Amino acid sequence: MKNIVWFRNDLRVFDNPALSAACESRNEVAAVFIVSESQWKDHCDSVNKIAFWFRCLVELEKELKKLNIPLVVLRSDLYEDIPQKLLEFANMHCFENIFFNIEYPFNERMRDDEVTKVFENENKGVFSFHDQVIHKPGTLKTKAGGDFSVYSPFKRCWFAELDYSMLEEIPVPSPVRKIDFSHANEFDIYNYQESRINQDLWPVGEENIQTMISNFLEKKGSLYKTDRNFPSMKATAMSSPYLNTGVVSSKWCLNQSRYNNYDSLDEGDKGIVHWVSEILWREFYRHIIFNYPRVSKGKPFQMRYENIPWENNPSFISAWKEGRTGIPIVDAGIRQMIETGWMHNRLRMIVAMFLSKNLLVDWKIGEEFFMEHLIDGDIASNNGGWQWSASTGTDAAPYFRIMNPETQSLRFDEQGEYIRKYVKELEQCPTNEIHMPKNPQDFGYVDPIVDLKTSRQKAIDVFGSIKKET
């Protein structure tokens, strides 16, 4: 029996259930990756992210070669064409089964359902696996039998239903029988040059990344809870791009946490426990996007906020996107993302709330802009974070939350180190002014585009009126 293993966001050989199952019989296996440029563009995937994925693919190819598995890169611009593309490939080379790990956004689910249909119609085997989550979406329920919409009770249920046997890792498969076939790659992943950032900032290689995260947990994990919010400190694992590509699995990350915390995930070292919580947030948003597919379609999780009277001032939007709002911490966050393809998580919340609340700009505009630049752009986490910040999503508190960027700046960038790094105009600005300069023009910087106090109150009034109506 000849098998295809279809790689997507699971670019690793260790702890890969689809790959392991495809290799179990030790028969011939071919790996396939499909480049879908038009679809990725529709999803606003950044060139930074795509370039990074291709670099990870090059490393994956090396590891697969050790297993006698060739990597074939196919091209199918739109998801709707993929089922037939895969079937033609399978028939051409007499493959009988296809194996893949499940994705949860709506378009991806529809694509995979169609692949399953066309393969089964040809009497070919289809085998799919949940590798991005510990608990399969749809299996965790509230006491009333519904799906969770708030993180804290989801987390409690997640732990209550956890058996450590669910965290058992799958070893790298043994080499399989060499396959005798040739199929030209349809896309050159080796010379993709369209990234806007220095890709050297983001090393690749499965073992390298495992070492990087292991070292973080061992040396800095205990400090994570206290230090994670300070953007000038190297206090985070920088693991999100690697989880997004699947170079490491969330299961592996959880086990590394256990190894550094006396075999516990929810007790013991407060820093590591908090890092585990961030992994669970990632899983939570996958459950959300599976259980509530409307969030994949540009709809708010809280449907009562579907018709917020967003102002969408074009000059405000441009200023925000260019990092020239006159609010130093906001501009620093945007510029970090444009320069590096990544933004510190505290800053993601600050700049998102500033856009959706102080500027009253539709969160979907910000969601799209982030995806167009982030190297770790993930539809579930990005959508979840944006809706959380805009108060249209899960975990409403109670219906409105807004961070004061100046207060956040004073608290988490007290000396202005982060601001000075990314807002070069303010390198010489005194520390006592850097969070909101009195005369920004003196430094070649811009005036604030809105008054924080006035714009905050306006947003409260807008959201408050909607709450009263509903």
Q: Please tell me the distance from the alpha carbon of residue 53 to that of residue 195, in angstroms, as a whole number.
A: 11
The sign of the torsion formed by the CA atoms of 155, 157, 158, 162 equals positive
Percent of the chain past pLDDT 70, that is, above it, reads 98
Q: Please tell me the distance from the alpha carbon of residue 256 to that of residue 210, in angstroms, as a whole number.
A: 9
Half-sphere exposure of 210 (CA within 13 A, CB side): 14
- Asked if 310 is an active-site residue, the reply is yes
pLDDT tens sequence across 81-122:
999 999 999 999 999 999 999 999 999 999 999 999 999 999
Percent of the chain past pLDDT 90, that is, above it, reads 96
Contacts of 78 (CB under 8 A, 6+ apart): 36, 38, 39
Domains of the chain listed by start with CATH number:
3-131 (3.40.50.620), 132-168+207-291 (1.25.40.80), 303-469 (1.10.579.10)
User: Does position 396 have pLDDT exceeding 90, yes or no?
Assistant: no
Catalytic hit among 96, 185, 310, 313 = 310
User: Does position 466 have pLDDT exceeding 90, yes or no?
Assistant: no
Catalytic hit among 345, 368, 404, 433 = 345
Over residues 228-235, mean pLDDT: 96
Question: Token pair for residue 307?
Answer: 């018709």
Other beta carbons less than 10 A from residue 158's beta carbon: 21
Over residues 238-242, mean pLDDT: 97
Q: Which residues pair with 127 in a beta bridge?
A: 99
Q: Report whether 199 contacts 193 (CB < 8 A).
A: no
Over residues 225-237, mean pLDDT: 96
Q: Report whether 107 contacts 61 (CB < 8 A).
A: no
Give DSSP secondary structure letters for 50-118: HHHHHHHHHHHHHHHHHTT--EEEEE-SSGGGHHHHHHHHHHHHT--EEEEE---SHHHHHHHHHHHHH
Residue with more model confidence, 193 or 176:
176
Per-residue pLDDT at 1: 85
Q: Report whether 300 contacts 392 (CB < 8 A).
A: yes
Length of the chain: 470
Mean pLDDT of the chain: 96
- Asked if 281 is an active-site residue, the reply is yes
Question: Token pair for residue 199?
Answer: 């890709």
- Asked if 404 is an active-site residue, the reply is no
Q: Report whether 463 contacts 445 (CB < 8 A).
A: no
CA angle 137, 153, 382 (to 5 degrees): 55
Q: Please tell me the distance from the alpha carbon of residue 279 to that of residue 269, in angstroms, as a whole number.
A: 16
- Asked if 363 is an active-site residue, the reply is yes
Q: pLDDT class for 207, splitting at 50, 70, 90?
A: very high
pLDDT tens sequence across 113-143:
999 999 999 999 999 999 999 999 999 999 9
Burial label for 307, CB within 10 Å (0-12, 13-18, 19+), is exposed
Catalytic hit among 281, 320, 342, 388 = 281
Q: Report whether 415 contacts 422 (CB < 8 A).
A: no
User: Does position 470 have pLDDT exceeding 60, yes or no?
Assistant: no
Question: Residue 175 corresponds to which amino acid?
Answer: P
Catalytic hit among 37, 278, 414, 417 = 278
User: Does position 10 have pLDDT exceeding 90, yes or no?
Assistant: yes
Per-residue pLDDT at 397: 64
pTM over 0.85: yes
Burial label for 145, CB within 10 Å (0-12, 13-18, 19+), is exposed
Helix then strand then coil, in percent of the chain rounded to 5, is 55, 5, 40
End-to-end CA distance of the chain: 58
User: Does position 79 have pLDDT exceeding 60, yes or no?
Assistant: yes
- Asked if 342 is an active-site residue, the reply is no
How many angstroms separate the Cα of 455 from the Cα of each of 38, 228, 285, 301? 38, 28, 30, 24
Per-residue pLDDT at 468: 64
pLDDT tens sequence across 272-297:
999 999 999 999 999 999 999 999 99
Q: pLDDT class for 49, splitting at 50, 70, 90?
A: very high
Over residues 11-40, mean pLDDT: 97
- Asked if 345 is an active-site residue, the reply is yes
Q: Which residues pair with 125 in a beta bridge?
A: 97
Per-residue pLDDT at 418: 98
Catalytic hit among 48, 363, 367, 388 = 363
Per-residue pLDDT at 328: 98
The sign of the torsion formed by the CA atoms of 158, 352, 299, 43 equals negative
Per-residue pLDDT at 395: 82
Q: Report whether 4 contacts 125 (CB < 8 A).
A: no
Phi, psi (degrees; rounded to nearest 5) at 152: -60, -50
Burial label for 237, CB within 10 Å (0-12, 13-18, 19+), is buried
Over residues 444-467, mean pLDDT: 94
Give DSSP secondary structure letters for 120-165: HHTT-EEEEE--S-SSPTTS---TTS----SHHHHHHHHHHT--GG
Over residues 317-345, mean pLDDT: 98
Per-residue pLDDT at 256: 98
User: Does position 469 have pLDDT exceeding 70, yes or no?
Assistant: no
Q: Report whether 309 contacts 462 (CB < 8 A).
A: yes
Catalytic hit among 275, 320, 386, 388 = 386
Q: pLDDT class for 392, splitting at 50, 70, 90?
A: very high
Q: Please tell me the distance from the alpha carbon of residue 224 to that of residue 126, in angstroms, as a whole number.
A: 41
Per-residue pLDDT at 400: 77
pLDDT tens sequence across 142-161:
999 999 999 999 999 999 99
* Helices H / strands E in the chain, number of each: 19, 5
